[in-house]
Amino acid sequence: RTSHRVTSPPHRCACACTCACIRGDLSWTSASSPRACDALPIPAASRMSKLAVVALALAMVACQTHGLVAPSGPLSRRVGGLRMRSLLTFAAVGGGGRATASMTGDTCSTTLYDIPVSNNGARCRAVLYFKGIEDQVKIESPMKTLGGLRSEEYLALNPQGKMPLLTTEAGPIAESDVIVRYLLDKYSEFGPSLIGATLEERTRAESISRHHDMYITTIQGCMYKPVPPFASFGTRTAALKELRKQLDVLETLTSDSGPYLAGPDPTFADAAVFPTMIFCMHSLPKFDWAEAEILGPKLAKWYAMFKSTDVGQRIFDEVQGGLSAWDERGRWDTIRGAGVRDTAEATLFDKILSGDIPSTNVYEDKLCLAFKDINPAAPAHILIIPKARNGLTSLHFADREHQELLGHLMVTASKVAEQEGLAEDGFRVVINDGAKAAQSVFHLHVHVLGGREMTWPPG
């Protein structure tokens, strides 16, 4: 039955008659004939019989066949959990037998490849959980189904060999932010919008998400990767310092009123930032960050609130479970500043650096200090020492954590030699390693000697 008269050309009568089985107002819009109406109110699923669902499915097929469209999108809206673009399955029972029919869309081909510990993948999973579309998008581990991130099969889908990855009918989609935006667009009719209700909220969400992706996740490896570099930072110390700065900036971007990052409603910014903050709260105390000082007051309040939500608790359990597994496997045991500490005794160089012992300094920057040796072995004898020893008591303890520092010391030696007028006639650079090599202070240092002719071999 229909309470609205349908006017359509003869070839559309089948569509109109089929849809007349649906209870409620009914009308169509044609791309070629805009004379018809443009709305199709869909009754609630609870008021729809199986016959009505069947009729609607047939109507959708007929609509597509005859080029009928609905500019305002009602034909693609959710109907009892079903969508025209999704898997539409219905069953009719009668005559003692059972008949089934199905219309397969893109649901089965949409898969998110990810693992629980991935914070970038977790932002995508959060969207799935908020939207309630886990039946629309499968979540699978690339390790189990595609042979791992370096397998030929996975690299054919994502040449970068990174997670997450979303495969769709249209092709693979890499990068978590792009995946999130695809999901928000494709499943816009499900759950909360997650984009913000006002321009201000949307702008804030964009700013927070962008800041997170550009300035935090790019260096997050300093919290758990064994060796640098971390983006443009060659030392963990420098990267951790930068992370501190960017967390402080994130605090200023956070909404004052909340309770979510961008305002009163959850957005994709919450989905992006929360998993990364789980990493921060778990990892940074291992580097002697006070837990209460990791997040600013607004972020700390938001973090506790979001963690208490259903989606937040689920994401927390997934990511934290992965991090706890890393703990059990000793992930941080060999990382300098966390499991590996410089426990050697302080030396007189520490007192020079603190100013307790005076020195005649000739050069200084953020990484090293150069000063004249009080017992010179040549007319010009300069010592260059790193300000942070970081386990580098002797050269043989050097590892990739020290790579940037060691290169910097060599560049500094050249600068100092030029500054002291040694470059033209030549100079010698010496690093003594161990007591038998005449190392007397166990804080790595570089000797720059010049002003006289050197002999070989050295003494």
**Euclidean distance between the first and the last CA atom of the chain, given in angstroms as a whole number:** 107
Give residue 251's identity as a one-letter amino acid code: E
Instruction: Name the 3-class secondary structure at 233.
Output: strand
CA distances from 11 to 16, 23, 30, 63 (A): 10, 23, 12, 11
Nearest to 324 by CA among 116, 122, 140, 113: 116
408 is known as an active-site residue: no
Question: What's the rounded Cα separation, in Å, for the pair 31 and 452?
Answer: 92
CB of 216 within 8 A of CB of 247?
yes
Q: 368-372 and 361-364: which strand pairing?
A: antiparallel
Neighbouring residues of 66: CB distance < 8 A, sequence distance ≥ 6 = 11, 12, 15, 30
List C-alpha distances in Å: 267 to 119, 208, 384, 433: 16, 10, 51, 56
With beta carbons less than 8 A apart as the criterion, state whether 123 and 217 touch. no
Smallest CA-to-CA distance from 225 within 326, 121, 342 is with: 326
Residue 303: both structure tokens together: 């973090």
342 forms beta bridges with none
**Closest among 453, 449, 364 to 412, alpha carbons compared:** 364
Report how far residue 360's alpha carbon sits from residue 418's, in angstroms, rounded to the nearest whole number.
18
Quick check: 243 and 179 in contact, CB under 8 A? no
The angle subtended at Cα 458 by Cα 456 and Cα 459, nearest 5°, is: 130
| Planar angle of CA 333, 337, 343, nearest 5 degrees | 90
CB count, 10 Å around CB of 359? 19
Q: Is 403 left (phi over 0), alpha (psi -120 to 50) or beta?
A: alpha
Question: Catalytic pick from 212, 381, 402, 445?
Answer: 445
CA distance 363 to 33: 81
Residues annotated as catalytic are 445
